[in-house]
Amino acid sequence: TPLHIAARNGHRDVALVLLERGTDADARTNTQRTPLHVAADKNNLEVIRLLLDHNADVHARNDEQWTPLHIVAQDDHVEAARLLLDHGADIEAHEEDGWTPLHLAAQDNHLDVCRLLID
């Protein structure tokens, strides 16, 4: 969707206009990714903030059962992880193979994200 494109490219102002005009903050791609998944993947903090402020589902799962927190944990996006946690992201969420965000962060030695998830 256009909102997914804005989220991917970090175009906060475009995303804001789309949301103000009624675009669904939780629109899905064919792989069940929401704009929040896409913004998390690209570490676009301003778009993540905007989507969360517009009540995007922090618990949304893609077709592999990954939440946005799984994505930022694997990619070592500490500030994005903090934002998601501040909005109630579930640190115990399991993806389809049973892995939590902490498993993914630990696997890739992302110490700061591990600390954040443990604290």
pTM for the whole structure: 0.96
Residues 40-56 pLDDT 10s: 999 999 999 999 999 99
For the chain, where are the alpha helices, taking DSSP H only? 2-9, 12-20, 35-41, 45-53, 68-75, 78-86, 101-107, 111-118
Q: Please give the domain boundaries of the chain with CATH numbers for all domains.
A: 2-118 (1.25.40.20)
Residues 56-96 pLDDT 10s: 999 999 999 999 999 999 999 999 999 999 999 999 999 99
